[in-house]
Amino acid sequence: MALNREERKLLHQKSKQPTFGNGKPDKSSGNEGDISFRKVDGSGTVQYLKQDGDWIAISSSGIKPLTRTESGNRNIISNTLVSTGVSDHSDLIGLNSDDHTQYILANGTRAFSGNVTVGSDGSGYDVTFHSATSGDSLVWDSSEELLTITGTDGQTALNIADGNVTISDTLTSTNIGAFTLTGKLTAGSSEIEGSAFDIDGGAIDGTAIGANSASTGVFTTLTATTLGGALNVNNENLTNVDIDSGTIDGTTIGASSHTTIKGTTIDATTDFTIGGLVITDGNIDDTGTLNIDGATGINLQEGGTTVINIDTDRYIFFHAYAQSLYNNYALNNKADNYHFTTGKDDYDQNYSILAVSVVSSSFNTSYGA
């Protein structure tokens, strides 16, 4: 049955009433000019308008979905939309509008507000940071697990302004500049080599210096508890030397410049030479006159027994002469049977033989009276 005019009016008004639902309305639904309120993920409640056969988002309670509008022959992304698209990105308007603050900007003016993750565990990506200098960069190579800093020679490429650096594995470097070592440096069995080490403080304890390959050492004060090998001073002088043990073998003492030698026992395997005097085993020889001078007398002994004694009065006693009688003789000889002999020639010429010996007691006690 045909509708009357009033029924057609009510039906038309009903079609103009807003509808409600979820997601963007389908193009085939609704009529031109219809309005629909839809709940859209990420945008909240969005108001759509049916226009030119498509639903256009005209407002939302959250982030409004992108829509398109047409201006003349240009297709434009804006908050109103026509159904036709654009073929050239430059035809879009509002490209400089920064109304999506959840995105970072290419010019770096908006900072990250959360954590940044590149890739996922076991599936990474390379990251490159370029510098203002051509060829200089910081590159993370995900396949090699390698961070490479390429800087400019002579300039600082990595600067730790504060905080500590901990390296749990091997540190390899071709050149390390000046630094302050605040802890113990342990090299283990590895060698530390260099041609111009300058250690001007602290102490080197408990280790050998030059054990395998020795070189020059210059010291102001050298202290050693034990010298483990021969010391070659290379014809240099040693002053204030105190040698109080051991031996000095195979060398001359005082060959060029000599002074006093004192000892409790001084032994010589060949001789003692003093000027023209040479003392060897069993002999005393002198190229000139030999003087023996004793302040209180002179004793010549054989086997510990005095053979010749010269006292302070210059009297000479032979054979341990010790007469208690009055004595004023220059020569005193005590021998059994014979005093001495001078030989046949003396006897023939001087008849030096004692034939009679008479001893007077008064002579012995009061000679000269």
Q: Which residue has the tokens 């003492």?
A: 253
Task: Point out the domain boundary residue: 91, 117, 137.
Answer: 91
**Residue 63, in any domain of the structure:** yes
Environment class of residue 232 by beta-carbon count within 10 Å: exposed (0-12), middle (13-18) or buried (19+)? exposed
Q: Which amino acid is at 93?
A: I
The residue ranking higher by pLDDT, 29 or 86, is: 29
**Residue 277, in any domain of the structure:** no
- What does the pLDDT read at residue 21? 85
In SS3 terms, 76-122 reads as EEECCCCCCCCCCHHHCCCCCCCCCCCCCCCCCCCCCCCCCCCCECC
Q: How far is CA 154 from CA 128, 150, 157, 298, in A?
A: 22, 12, 9, 90
**Residue 309, in any domain of the structure:** yes
The residue ranking higher by pLDDT, 123 or 236, is: 123
Task: Say if residue 193's pLDDT is above 50.
Answer: yes
**Residue 275, in any domain of the structure:** no
Query: How many domains are contained in the chain?
Result: 2
- What does the pLDDT read at residue 16? 62
**Residue 236, in any domain of the structure:** no
Q: How distant is the alpha carbon of residue 1 from its chain centre?
A: 109
> Is there a contact between 308 and 317 (Cβ–Cβ < 8 Å)?
yes
Q: Looking at residue 123, what DSSP letter applies?
A: B
Task: Point out the domain boundary residue: 51, 74, 91.
Answer: 91
Q: What radius of gyration do the chain's Cα atoms show?
A: 63
Q: Which helix (H) or strand (E) holds 349?
A: helix 344-350
Task: Point out the domain boundary residue: 91, 120, 139.
Answer: 91
**Residue 353, in any domain of the structure:** yes
Among 59, 56, 60, CA closest to 69: 56
Average pLDDT, the chain: 78
Residue ranges making up the domain that contains 337 = 297-369
**Residue 190, in any domain of the structure:** no
Among 61, 84, 64, 89, CA closest to 72: 84
Among 142, 143, 112, 116, CA closest to 127: 142
The residue ranking higher by pLDDT, 87 or 257, is: 257
- What does the pLDDT read at residue 340? 58
**Residue 340, in any domain of the structure:** yes
Stretch 137-158: mean pLDDT: 92
Q: Which helix (H) or strand (E) holds 318?
A: strand 316-318
